[in-house]
Structure 1
C-alpha cells in the first residue's frame, strides 16, 4: 500500500495567513528561548559559580561543553527517529518539562559532581526540543516562507541568552547564583504544560508534493535513516561546516562573560545591562536578517545556503580579534557586537537547507543528526577547547590566559568558512548534474 502524502490545500495556506501559524511559531520560539536560557545559565553565572564551588576553567569548559553535549547529541537521535513516527508536539512538551526540572536541580548542586550530573540531565531533556520543532515548522509553513520562519524560530538562542544575562545576572547580583535556576526551571515547567494543550500537531508533508513510492515500501529503519543522512555528501558537509561554525559560537558564548569580568573589568550589574543588550540585539538581528537573505537569494541560487555563511564568518574575524585584544570592556563589547551579529548567519541557512533536502517523514531525524554534528563538534568541543587552552596559557600569561585562548580559537573562523565554500561548490555541482 503506497504511503498517502497530503498535498497543500487552501486551508493549509489559510492557516498560515490567519495567524495560527504565527501562534505555533511563537510558542515554539518561546520553548527555544527557555531551552537556550537554561543551557546558558552556567556560562552566564560562571564567575559566581566558580567562586562558590571552586572549579577551574577546564572544569567549566567540560561542564558547559563536553558533558552537556555528550548526552544532548546522542539522545537526540533516537528521540528524532521516534518523533518522526509519533506526536512531535507531545515529545516537545515532555522534553521541556524534563530539562526545566533538571535546571532546578542545577541550582541545588552542592559540588562540581552534582552540578555536572544535573547538567547532563538538562542535556537529555533538551535533546527533545529543537529537532521536533524544526519538523513542526516545516509542516506549518510552505517552502517559500521557511527561511524566514526558521530565522524567527532561531531567535530563541539570542533572546534566551539575552534574557539569561539580564535576568540571571540581576537575580544573582541581588540574591544568589542559585536563585535564577529555580525561577527559570519553574517557568519552563509551566510552559511545557501550555505547549501540550495549546499547540496542534500539523499534518506531515502538508506543503510537499507526494513522493512516488512503490506499494508496500515501509518507512526507512533507524539505521537506514542515519546511513541515508551521512551518505548524502551535501548533508554531511553541511553538518560538518555548521559544526565548525558552532565551535566558534559556543567557545565564545560560554566564556565571553568570564573574559569581560575577569580581564576587562566588567561587573555583574554591568553584564546584566550592557552584555544582555549586545547579545539580544546582535544575535537577534543577525539571525533574523540571515533568514531574510536566505529567502531572497536561495530561491535564485541554491548555493546561497552556503556562500552567505562563508562570507559572514570572514567578515566577523577581525572584529573578534579586536574584542579579545581590547583592554576596556566598553571597547571590547562594541567590537564583539559585530561577531554576535554575523556568527550565527549559518544557522537559519543550514537548517532550512537540510529540512528542504529530506523527505517529510525524515525531517526530525535529519534535524537531530544535523544537531548531533553541530553540537558534538561545536557545543562539545568549543567550550572544552577554550577552557583547556586558558588553563594551558595560565603559566605564561597569568591573568590574560583566557584572552590567549580566544586567539587560539580565531583560526576556526577560516576553517568554517572554507567548509561552507566547499558546500557551495557541491550544491552547484548537484544542481547542474542532479546528483548529490
Structure 2
C-alpha cells in the first residue's frame, strides 16, 4: 500500500511539479509586495486619511505580524487535514482582494480591517507551500525546489520596495483618468497579480497525494495528536524552533538598522546607504539560500536525518564569530564585507528548517510545524528584535549617541550567537533519535 501511495505521488509529470513550484514562488513574491507596500505609501496615506505615526506603525507592524503569526497554526491544522490547493487559493484571493480594498479605505478602522485580511490570507501560503513541495518531490530532491521558493525572502525583502516604487510611478499619471490618488491606485494595482496567479494555480496545479506510509494512513491529524507528537520529540523540536526566532532577532536587525548605522556613523546619505547595503548583501542572501540546502543534502546522504541540523550547526559556528564583531567594524568597506557574510549565514535559517520538516516530520504535521516556525520567527524577530537592539545599545551609554545602534546590534549578535550554537548542538544530538517517516 505504501508503494502505491508513493507511486501515486510520483504520478504527476516533472513539468507539473515545477509549474507548481514556480507559481508558489511567484505568489510568495507577490505576498511580500502586498505586505510591505504600506511602508512605501505611509506619507500620502497619513496625509489623506489623517493618520498619526502610532496608527501607521500598528498598520505596518504589530497589526499585521501578530495576526499573521496567530492565524498560522489553526490554518496549518486545516492544511494538514484538507485539500491544500483549495485553502491556498482561498488565502490568495483573500489577501489580494483586501489589498485592493485598501485602496478604497476611508480611515484607520477600514484600513486595519483590510490589513487583517492580508495577514490571514498570507498566513496560509508558506505552510501550504511546504506541505505541497514535500509531496511533489522525494526527500532527496526537495532541497532545490524549497531553495527556489525560499529565495524570494532573500530578494523581495528589499525588492518589494523597488516593485512598489515602479507601480507608484505608473499610477501617478493615471490619477486623473481614474479619479483616484496615486497611493490608492498603487494598492489596487499590486493586488491584481495575486488574482491572476490564483487563476493560473487553479488551472495548472493538481493536488498531490500525501506521502504517508501504509501504517500511518489512518493516523490522526488533530491538534491533540500534534501535541502528543511534539511532546514525544520535544528535545529536538523546542531548540530547533527556538533557533529560528533567535536568528531573526539579529537577522531582522541588520536590514532594519544597518542603513541608519551607515548614515549616522559612516556619513552616507539615506539613498546611498540603502543602495550600498542592499546591493552588496542581496546576492549573498541569495547565495546562502542555495548553498545551505546543498550542504545539508550532502551531509544527509551520509548521515540520515542529520543534514539540516548539521548544516545549521556549521552556520551557528560561523555566526559565533561574525555576528558580534561585524557591526562594530569602523572601516566602511570592511563593515559591508563582514555584514555580507552575516547575511549569507542568516540565509541558513531561511530555508533549512522547512527542509528539515520535510525530511524528518510526518506529512500530516508539516503545515503545523511550518506555522510554529513562523510564529517563533515573527514573535521573537519582528516583535522583540528591533526594540531589543535599541535597548541593548543604550545600556551604559547616553541616549542618542551615534554609535548606539551598532553597539546594540553587536550586543544582539553576542547574545544570539552562543544560543544558536547551543540549540543546534542539542538538535544534532537529538536528530539521531528521529524515526524515518518515509523514503
Q: What's the TM-score bracket when you normalise by the shorter of the two chains?
A: 0.7 to 0.9
Partner residue, 2:297: 295
Equivalent pair of 1:99/1:122 in contact (CA under 8 Å): yes
1:179-227 CA-partner distances (Å, limit 9, x unpaired): 765543333333233223322211111xx543256xxx56232332234
Give the aligned partner of residue 69 of structure 1: 65
Whole-angstrom CA distance in 2 between matches of 1:121 and 1:228 = 31
Which of 235, 238, 241 in structure 2 is aligned with 1:239?
Answer: 241
Residue aligned with 2:416, SS:
helix
Alignment of 1:216-365 (within 5 A): 219-233=220-234, 234-261=236-263, 264-267=266-269, 269-270=271-272, 273-301=275-303, 302-316=305-319, 318-321=321-324, 323-325=326-328, 332-365=335-368
Decide whether aligned partners of structure 1 residues 126 and 259 sit closer, same or farther in structure 2, where only a CA change above 3 A counts. Answer: farther
Does the 8 A contact of 1:73 with 1:376 survive in 2? yes
Deviations along 1:145-203, whole A, 9 cap, x unmatched? 11222222211211222422433456679978877655433333332332233222111
Q: 131, 149, 154: which one pairs with 2:150? A: 154
Q: Structure 1 residues 425, 181: CA separation in 2 closer, same or farther (over 3 Å shift)?
A: farther
Mapping 1:33-44, distance limit 5 Å: 33-41=29-37
Q: Match of 1:154, SS?
A: helix
Alignment of 1:35-54 (within 5 A): 35-41=31-37
**Worse-matched range after superposition: 390-399 or 19-28:** 390-399
Shift of the 21–187 alpha-carbon distance from structure 1 to 2, 3 Å rule, reads: same
Instruction: Give me the TM-score of the superposition, normalised by structure 2.
Output: 0.80
Is 1:194 matched with 2:200?
yes
Supply the RMSD in Å over aligned alpha carbons: 4.0
CA distances 1:281-323 after superposition (whole Å, capped 9, x unpaired): 1211101111111111122123332232232233245544555
* 5+ long unaligned stretches in structure 2: 173-181
User: Which of the numbers 371, 374, 381 marks the counterpart of 1:371?
Assistant: 374
Which residue in 2 is equivalent to 1:408?
411
Equivalent-residue separation in structure 1 for 2:41 and 2:339 (angstroms): 19
Preserved contact between residue 306 and residue 423 of structure 1 (Cα < 8 Å):
yes
Structure 1 distance, partners of 2:319, 2:358, is 27
CA-CA distance at 1:135 after TM superposition: 0.6
In the superposition, relative to structure 1, how do residues 69 and 255 fare at CA in structure 2: closer, same or farther (>3 Å)? same
Find the partner of 1:421 among 399, 422, 425.
425
CA contact (8 A) 1:246 1:374 kept: yes
Instruction: State the alpha-carbon separation in 1 of the partners of residues 45 and 277 from structure 2.
Output: 18
Aligned equivalents of 1:111 and 1:400: distance in 2? Answer: 39
Comparing 327-336 and 25-34, the one that deviates more: 327-336
**Do the aligned partners of residues 125 and 27 (structure 1) sit closer, same or farther apart at CA in structure 2, a change above 3 Å counting?**
same
Going from structure 1 to structure 2, the CA distance change for 1:413 and 1:41 (only over 3 Å counts) comes to farther
**Separation in 1, partners of 2:256, 2:98:** 19
5+ residue gaps, structure 1, are: none
Matched, 1:130 2:136: no
Q: Among 76, 79, 86, which residue is 2:75 paired with?
A: 79
Q: Give TM-score, length-normalised by structure 1.
A: 0.80
Distance in 2 (alpha carbons) for counterparts of 1:341 and 1:239: 20
Corresponding position of 1:163? 159
Would the alpha carbon gap of residues 343 and 285 (structure 1) be closer, same or farther in structure 2, given more than 3 Å must change? same
Separation in 2 of the partners of 1:329 and 1:165? 25
Query: Among 187, 190, 201, which residue is 1:184 paired with?
Result: 190
Task: Measure the CA separation in 1 of the matches of 2:155 and 2:406.
Answer: 26
Aligned to 1:9, the other structure's residue is in SS state: helix
On the 8 A contact 1:151/1:291 being kept in 2, the answer is yes
1:69–1:123 Cα contact (<8 Å) kept: yes
Is the Cα–Cα contact under 8 Å of residues 55 and 112 in structure 1 kept in the other structure? no
